[in-house]
A and B are shown apart, each in its own frame.
Chain A
Amino acid sequence: MTKQDHLIGGKVMTMRTLALLAVAAVAAAAVACGGTSSGTTGSTITLGAPLGLTGSLAKESLLTQQGYNLWQDWINSQGGIVVNGVKHLVTIKYYDDTSSANQSAVLMQKLITGDKANFLLGPYGSAATATDAAIAEQNEIPMVEANGAAQSIFNQGYKYTFGVLSPANKYLQGVIDMAATLNPKPTTIAMLSADDNFSLEVADGVNTYAATKGMKVILYKKYKNGATNLSAEVQAAKAANADIVLNSGHLQEAIAINKAAKEQKVNAKIFAYSVGPSTPDFITALGKDADYVYGGSQWTPQVKYTPAFYLTVAEYVAAYKAKYPGLGDPDYHVAESTAACLALQRAIENAGSLDPKKVRDALAALDVTVFFGQLKFDSRGINIYKPMVVEQIQAGVHHTVFPADVADAQAKYPTPAWDQR
């Protein structure tokens, strides 16, 4: 041994080896501090989302996924969700529940136990949301959903499910509010409804609300969910000769009813469908026959909310068109799905923790406005604070016609008779 050798751990070390070790130690420490210069990066947050990517809800589930992905891209470009000064990137794990509510619950459980999801994003549709809410409750993991509006989900006393969208019973109430402002005021309503939970709630919402605005439901017909031949129901609406024909159902049925209305010469002053008119498929499937149809909508690109964080309405529309070109404006299913992610993000930030119970409490106390509207939940977990808007298709283009402060066009009322268009 020479004077320059040192004894470390029983082994003889030369100066050179010591120096190399020191450099390595400093380098390791530098790497451990994280890649960004502003704050450290923590573990990746996993969000679980089962969606009906195949099956009867494929189209709407795809829109939901687009909404989730838009937010995921944005949050990760910001470095992730900030929790107590630590940034956490986000990854959303999707499974295909083939549009089966039971399968959705199975996959939700898998996301929790197998994929170790920190939090859950809702599926598409009230049926799957209901089954998934039970799983979220059992496992005590918050689920924020945007596509299950049936109030029956929120009347179960669940504490871990939060819906950012307006509940089902409000879907067509906006149309009635609008009708009350029109001249000559329509007074009679023919209400057609599919027999699934969500559609029945929308219809009941109309049945109870109409009288408060001086209107009467003179016909209420339910039909099998998913029916494609609705001529007999439309015939009954024709016989009733109502001023307003309302449908509560889904896209497939809205198209069938509109076609039957034209064929059977049903000339109502207002045709309004709860789901369908806001999707681009409605216009491409029906062409000119889609004109004058009203729809209740959770959100349109014309609303004027000032966001506390994330993008403005105009920026959101631009971001959607940039990521998904050729599809036109985002429809409300996309927007509400992004809003669910925003609610979760803000709740995590407010809680300053990834602990499920703390985030749950932060969600319950949340009150923030984003491009989608006010995000606040009532004691049951559903957002009764955001209003529905009414859209009308005019010359193949969607326009917001009610409420007046967000409208970009006047309602074209009354709807002209079929043979006078």
Chain B
Amino acid sequence: MADFVQLVILGLLAGGVYVAVGVGFGLVWGVLNIVNLAHGALVIVGGYLTWQLFTALGLDPFLTLPVDAVALFVLGYALQRGVINRIIRGPLLFTFLLTFGLNLVIINILLLIFGSDFRSVTPAYSGQGLEFGSVVIPYVRLISLGVAILMSAALALMLNRTRIGLAIQAISADRDAAQLVGIDLRHAYAVTFGLGAACAGVAGGLIAMIQAITPTAGEPYTLQAFVVVILGGLGRVSATVVGGLAFGLVEAFGQSIPGSGSVFANAIAFGLMVLVLVTRPQGLMGRLK
């Protein structure tokens, strides 16, 4: 029984990271209709930023997360406004190609600056956790889950309560009508992408504490963000949260299948995604448009 509880906890904690990676991706996809193949690379940029601040200044990694968010917001804004906006009205394939290219550029710039060494952020309290009998809840992962939920809540609040947030939602509903009422499309697009990148940056900071990062370590996260968003449903932040936690749980239970079952964990998770697409394409929590 304790093992089962531990597995559920591990799954939810892992889900926290997936939530953090997924919300930014889902926002950009839902509003801008861009599947950002460079999302994983932006996550790793955030990770390196946290690592750099941790090793150079000794800053607690959780305190570097706001820095990640701001820095990646600026980067995302500039990328959207300067580069991606030029093909925003083009066919979907163009954005795929462009973000794919951006992914390669970012990875290789990271390689030039930081080299291919594996880096990890290991604060003093890493490895410690709450203990209830034989069940442990590691602090770092617990706080990461908390940060992910908080970040999602903040994002949802922003989208629903601020002018720019409402503008973004308006564009997502009907782009031309939004323009007609005077919403500055380019600025709103850039803010959206910036927010997506900011979320990616925070996710990267969390990931740097949980695993070792290297410039190419972001690639699996782009794919996982994709699955998380589809599982949960496109369009609402809360849906992505559900998707992320569900993905974490499925992975944890898939990996605990005895023997070689663990190698099928990915297949099970993606199989679930296919199942959702076939039976309930709006996602577990999405609404059909």
Contact surface of A with B, Cβ cutoff 8 Å: 54-56, 58-59, 62, 195, 220-224, 226, 228-233, 235-236, 239, 251-252, 255-256, 259, 262-265, 281, 284-287, 289, 418
Contact surface of B with A, Cβ cutoff 8 Å: 3, 6-7, 10, 13-14, 107-108, 111, 115-120, 122, 126-127, 129, 131, 136, 138, 140-141, 210-212, 214-217, 220, 251-253, 255-256, 258-260, 262-263, 265-266
Do most interface residues of chain B lie in helix, strand or loop, or is the interface mixed? helix
**In contact, B212 and A223 (Cβ under 8 angstroms):** no
Q: Which 8 A-B pairs have the closest CB atoms?
A: A58-B116, A262-B127, A232-B255, A285-B120, A263-B138, A59-B116, A255-B212, A228-B211
**In contact, B216 and A286 (Cβ under 8 angstroms):** no
CB-CB under 8 A from A286, the residues of chain B are 120, 122
**In contact, B127 and A255 (Cβ under 8 angstroms):** no
Docked Cα-Cα span, A246 to B115, in Å, equals 29
**In contact, B127 and A232 (Cβ under 8 angstroms):** no
Interchain residue pairs with CB less than 8 A apart (5): A232-B265, A251-B118, A252-B211, A262-B127, A265-B136
Docked Cα-Cα span, A54 to B106, in Å, equals 13
**In contact, B10 and A235 (Cβ under 8 angstroms):** yes
**In contact, A232 and B7 (Cβ under 8 angstroms):** yes
**In contact, B120 and A255 (Cβ under 8 angstroms):** yes
Q: Closest A residue to B209 by CB, please name it.
A: A259
Q: Closest A residue to B211 by CB, please name it.
A: A228
Docked Cα-Cα span, A82 to B214, in Å, equals 42
CB-CB under 8 A from B116, the residues of chain A are 58-59, 62
**In contact, A222 and B260 (Cβ under 8 angstroms):** yes
CB-CB under 8 A from B127, the residues of chain A are 259, 262-263, 289, 418
Tell me, rounded to whole Å, the shortest Cβ–Cβ distance linking B186 to chain A: 34
**In contact, A223 and B117 (Cβ under 8 angstroms):** no
Docked Cα-Cα span, A56 to B3, in Å, equals 34
A228-B211, A418-B127 known, 16 other contacts, Cβ within 8 Å: A58-B111, A58-B214, A58-B216, A59-B118, A195-B263, A221-B259, A221-B260, A222-B263, A224-B263, A224-B265, A228-B210, A231-B14, A232-B265, A252-B217, A262-B126, A262-B127
Docked Cα-Cα span, A77 to B204, in Å, equals 47
CB-CB under 8 A from B260, the residues of chain A are 195, 221-222
